[in-house]
Structure 1
Amino acid sequence: MSFIRLENVTKTFDGVEILKNLNITIEEGSVLGILGRSGSGKSVLINMLRGMKDYRPTKGRIIYNVAVCPQCLRVEPPSMVGNLCQCGVTFEAHEIDFWNTDRKHFAAIKRRISIMLQRTFALYEDDTVIDNVIKSITGRDEEESTYMAIDLLDMAQMTHRITHIARDLSGGEKQRVVLARQIAKEPMLFLADEPTGTLDPQTAELIHQALIEGVKEKGTTMVITSHWPEVMRQLSDHVIWLEKGEIVEEGNPETVVQSFLDQVPLPEKKTEFKTGGPIIKMEGVKKHYYSIDRGVVKAVDGIDLVIDEGEIFGVVGLSGAGKTTLSRILYGLTDPSGGQIMVKLGDNWIDMTEKGIFGRGRVKPYLGILHQEYSLYPHRNVLGNLTEAISLELPAEFAKMKALYVLNAVGFDEEYAEKIITKYPDELSGGERHRVALAQVLIKEPNIVILDEPTGTMDPMTRVQVTDSIRKARDELKQTFVIISHDMDFVLDVCDRAALMRGGKILKTGLPADIVEDLTPSEKKKMLKEE
């Protein structure tokens, strides 16, 4: 049954058409997949369906065919027409022009839509996990709400954290609680915008299974966007491939996905690079802390590591292995519980455990880091984010030239880089913001660059471009890269050597291909997309 229709929908921002004359029909109970590169218009379409401010179509209409209770204005999918509402009145059929209806009907539809975003953890940070889910449940008594919350957390495989405070969860755990909260609202439409874009394969698989069990198998209509083909294959009934706001192809998921993959280039062949002597030395590095629930937690547990100058070195492992903690210790954001971290600056070795201008303060200007939870300055445009916002004071014309150069290095073609340089972060897609954040790190030309999950929100084509740009930066600027990642395919493509991390320890160091051989079959399945 036809549920939602997009008729000739166009959306323009600052004179640029982001969506172009889209005509789409979404059937009740189906899962529509929107596949496309970062910046193709996927997130704009999701926000438009949700009724988010500033996303009104410039042209065209979005029609919701729904069942509406004339008494309490509750809205349900069209199959509920003729059934009784909770208030006892019969649902009536309505065809509602979503963006041109009255405020009451607009709000009534919005209340029945749940949305899951790629990086926004909309949780009550000071509440427990179960309380976060209970607060999303309406129309049930306390006991029913509690049991429903437990069932949803079990589905999301979060029962082991049920009494934990939300702010203490990892990013992947927070995303699973968000999913449980959104399903708890029992929506008529579930929108998922890159819900697993920043997660490791293991956690992403948990989210996918929960979406199948909690949304798809319950017959809830869903629209999911992704640049990952396997997400489309696993979840969608019908796929639309968007490119620069236009539908390139639509139809069977397998057919459309294959067409999309056929236009993704392979990265340039990796050539041997002669590295210098050691630039980073770690000996016996530890980070232990105490948790009321778990006692002593050994996030990093006695690590010895040497990284050479000019090397692209990967630290790989699944979520919770201790990779991010290790990167924060190296950068000087987290003090170790023990051990020594030495970084070479010129001819001198600097102790990164020593605070102040003669210790790590001396090295900091020569280090760059891209956090997994990066952020851009919202009130500065892209050029401002790449220059004044990070205290990079350059003559105006030279600043623009350098900004365009580094944007090109992270995958934007010259014409598109010129267009986005005056845009603000909220006008960019998630993947575009990620690349600008990477450019923000590279533009200062640091000696050592630490990248924490650099491919999280990137589509396959952009990943290839970023792989090539990291090698180019290393070759031209003699930079050393430390890449923290769960994406073994990316590490195989870009890294000279890698270390496998598990449970706070480094188990093996060697060539990336050697690390793969040391993984168990189940680990290969979780960390390699081809397995």
Structure 2
Amino acid sequence: MTAPLLSVEGLSLTIQGTPILRDVALTLAPGETLGLVGESGSGKSMTALAATGLLPRGARMRGAIRLDGTDLTALPERDWLRIRGADVAMIFQEPTLALNPVHTIGAQVAETLRIRGTPRAQARRIARERLDRVGLAGVPADRYPHELSGGQRQRVCIAMAIACRPRLLIADEPTTALDVTTQARILDLLRDLSRDEGMALLLITHDLGVVADMADRVAVMKDGRIVEDGPTAAVLGAPREEYTRDLLAASRPAPRPARTIAPEPVLEARSVTRRYGGFTAVSDVSLTLHRGESLGLVGESGCGKSTLTRALLGLEPVQDGSVHLMGRPGGTAMTRADRARISVVFQDPYGSFDPRWPIRRIVSEPFHLTGRPPDAEARITTALEQVGLSAADLTKYPHEFSGGQRQRIAIARALVTNPDVVVLDEAVSALDVRVRARVLALLADLQDRLGLAYLFISHDLGVVRALCDRVLVMRGGRIVEAGRTADLFDAPETDYTRELIAATPAIPHERPRRMPHDRPALV
């Protein structure tokens, strides 16, 4: 075996006296891909920040982090400035936050080279080459981040990371917010870069399907420790630790049994079309959601899902067609009382909360539609209890809760007006697998008890299969396929649906895929 490029030995970390990492040990060889998995708060990202010298103030670290034999923990910041970007580079989860909105993408890729003394003209030429290398050959270098799609922005971040040809590339949840086909392209790009450039890749993710498809080895973290590590096929095929088995079980949500759905429609779109100037974002879309039903809406970014959702919620007008809620005019024609009958849960609960408000005020916010009812306090408490929280949480603030708990609070806010329809817009995509499994079970239980109808918008087809009774596939502003969930997944009718299903990373036993051990052996 090749000597390790990266070696972490006995790494422990505290921040303001709180233990974050405990005796972490891992190695990574040149050209190898190591998947680092675990739940939110397990220490994955902090391990990556330690390896790049980007720990927050107040962090206290002991142990060794060696890059090609050099201990990085003792280096002053001036030496880190030389290493960071040139030898070690990092791709962050959210490209919108990683990119400067007032600089062009070409300038941002070139900046990585310029700060190391590369002449301006040469830096621009290399930046263009790197943009081409990551699949942006047709995108002008003078574009700004807001002019690109999410997948294109992530490619720009990758171009910045590889500008100086680093030996170690760390990718921290690089595909979490991307649709399945864009995710597949980004993962293929990372795989090709690792092979062609000879880079070692540390891939941090909570998606075990991605790890199964990408990694040579996997390390599992829990509470700041590595609890299991080894070849990917061995760890995922026969895990030793109960925690790893729990992660695997949560990563494989079971399809929901077929249910009898009431014929009563609660939400209808009839030939809805939405245009922006000369661009048609949604074209002649019709759908019906029945009481107690879960209807999945899937498709790539930019296919029109969000535009259609805004029209259904009455947040945007439509040029043609109509929306009906409970048989009454819907969309922008809804009365305030009718608006209380359709609620929404967003992807990022923290972003949809006012951090200065206590939970009581957050959950009661929808009462502005109906006026505060006499039994408001009882309804707020009931909503919290329905999602597994209690009245004791009413005086707390959002920062005092975990990500999964905040999403439960968002669901409670959606339930407080006793709605008939709940729109779930990527409501579980930012959650790790065990929290996601608990939230999905909660949603199914609430639906069974309260008779809720869900419009479930997601790029995670495994989650859609687990929760939804029917699925609509959207492309180019149109519904291109629709059907019962089991039928659509087992026998898709269109090439596009087959592409979406094939692009979804899967745990090995679910569906035959190219496994990591099929990659050339490291020697």
Residue in 2 aligned with 1:211? Answer: 190
**Alignment CA distance shift 1:224-1:307 (3 Å):** same
Q: Which amino acid aligns with 2:502?
A: K
Tell me, yes or no, if structure 1 residue 507 matches structure 2 residue 480.
yes
Q: Is the 8 A contact 2:363 2:409 kept in 1?
A: no
Residue in 2 aligned with 1:22? Answer: 24
**Alignment CA distance shift 1:503-1:207 (3 Å):** same
Q: Is the 8 A contact 2:173 2:205 kept in 1?
A: yes
Residue in 2 aligned with 1:437? Answer: 407
Q: Which amino acid aligns with 2:44?
A: K
For 1:117 and 1:299, the matched residues in 2 are separated by: 30
For 1:14 and 1:479, the matched residues in 2 are separated by: 45
Tell me, yes or no, if structure 1 residue 195 matches structure 2 residue 195.
no
Cα deviation digits, residues 402-436 of structure 1 (max 9, x gap) = 6576257xxxxx9xxx99x97865x98xxx53662
Offset of 1:314 from its aligned partner? 0.7
Q: Is the 8 A contact 2:256 2:467 kept in 1?
A: no
Q: Is the 8 A contact 2:363 2:413 kept in 1?
A: no
3-state SS of 2:113 partner: coil
Residue in 1 aligned with 2:276? Answer: 289
**Alignment CA distance shift 1:361-1:237 (3 Å):** same
Residue in 2 aligned with 1:388? Answer: 361
**Alignment CA distance shift 1:341-1:169 (3 Å):** farther
3-state SS of 2:197 partner: coil
Tell me, yes or no, if structure 1 residue 117 matches structure 2 residue 92.
yes
The percent of aligned pairs where both chains have the same amino acid is 24
Structure 1 residue runs of 5 or longer lacking an equivalent are 66-76, 79-93, 291-295, 409-413
Residue in 2 aligned with 1:105? Answer: 79
3-state SS of 2:54 partner: coil
Tell me, yes or no, if structure 1 residue 524 matches structure 2 residue 511.
no
Number of residue equivalences: 477
Q: Which amino acid aligns with 2:291?
A: E
For 1:390 and 1:528, the matched residues in 2 are separated by: 36
Residue in 2 aligned with 1:84? Answer: none
Q: Which amino acid aligns with 2:232?
A: P
**Alignment CA distance shift 1:141-1:470 (3 Å):** same
Offset of 1:379 from its aligned partner? 8.1
Offset of 1:250 from its aligned partner? 0.8
Residue in 2 aligned with 1:406? Answer: 387
Q: Is the 8 A contact 2:9 2:25 kept in 1?
A: yes
- Name which of structure 1's ranges 46-55 and 507-516 shifts more when overlaid on structure 2: 46-55
3-state SS of 1:264 partner: helix
3-state SS of 1:209 partner: helix
Structure 2 residue runs of 5 or longer lacking an equivalent are 368-374, 512-523
Tell me, yes or no, if structure 1 residue 133 matches structure 2 residue 89.
no
Residue in 2 aligned with 1:36? Answer: 38
Residue in 2 aligned with 1:480? Answer: 453
For 1:188 and 1:449, the matched residues in 2 are separated by: 47
For 2:9 and 2:17, the matched residues in 1 are separated by: 21
Q: TM-score, normalised by structure 2?
A: 0.78
Tell me, yes or no, if structure 1 residue 167 matches structure 2 residue 149.
no
**Alignment CA distance shift 1:423-1:362 (3 Å):** closer
**Alignment CA distance shift 1:95-1:509 (3 Å):** closer
Cα deviation digits, residues 268-313 of structure 1 (max 9, x gap) = 85352543611111122112224xxxxx332211111121122111
Q: Is the 8 A contact 2:11 2:22 kept in 1?
A: yes
Offset of 1:216 from its aligned partner? 4.8
3-state SS of 2:430 partner: coil
Aligned-residue Cα RMSD (Å) equals 3.7
Offset of 1:29 from its aligned partner? 4.8
For 1:407 and 1:46, the matched residues in 2 are separated by: 33
Residue in 1 aligned with 2:422? Answer: 449
Q: Report 1:39-118 matches (<5 A).
A: 39-54=41-56, 58=60, 60-65=62-67, 94-98=70-74, 101-110=75-84, 112=86, 113-118=88-93
3-state SS of 2:297 partner: strand
Cα deviation digits, residues 25-78 of structure 1 (max 9, x gap) = 34455433202233322222223323334376545234334xxxxxxxxxxx55
For 1:434 and 1:165, the matched residues in 2 are separated by: 34
Residue in 2 aligned with 1:86? Answer: none
For 1:424 and 1:7, the matched residues in 2 are separated by: 36
Offset of 1:188 from its aligned partner? 4.4
Residue in 1 aligned with 2:440? Answer: 467
For 1:17 and 1:519, the matched residues in 2 are separated by: 51
Offset of 1:143 from its aligned partner? 4.4
Q: Is the 8 A contact 2:473 2:482 kept in 1?
A: yes
Q: Is the 8 A contact 1:368 1:441 kept in 2?
A: no
3-state SS of 1:137 partner: helix
Residue in 2 aligned with 1:73? Answer: none
Q: TM-score, normalised by structure 1?
A: 0.77
For 2:481 and 2:461, the matched residues in 1 are separated by: 14
Offset of 1:511 from its aligned partner? 0.7
3-state SS of 2:249 partner: coil
Tell me, yes or no, if structure 1 residue 301 matches structure 2 residue 283.
yes
- Greater relative contact order: 1 or 2 (C-alpha under 8 angstroms, separation 6 or more)? 2
For 2:158 and 2:420, the matched residues in 1 are separated by: 40
For 1:526 and 1:17, the matched residues in 2 are separated by: 39
Instruction: Find 2:136's aligned residue among 141, 158, 178.
Output: 158
Q: Which amino acid aligns with 2:267?
A: I
Q: Is the 8 A contact 1:329 1:335 kept in 2?
A: yes
Q: Is the 8 A contact 1:4 1:62 kept in 2?
A: no
For 1:164 and 1:311, the matched residues in 2 are separated by: 43
Residue in 2 aligned with 1:180? Answer: 159
Q: Is the 8 A contact 2:91 2:172 kept in 1?
A: yes
- Name which of structure 1's ranges 363-372 and 321-330 shifts more when overlaid on structure 2: 363-372
Q: Is the 8 A contact 2:90 2:161 kept in 1?
A: yes
Q: Is the 8 A contact 1:9 1:57 kept in 2?
A: no
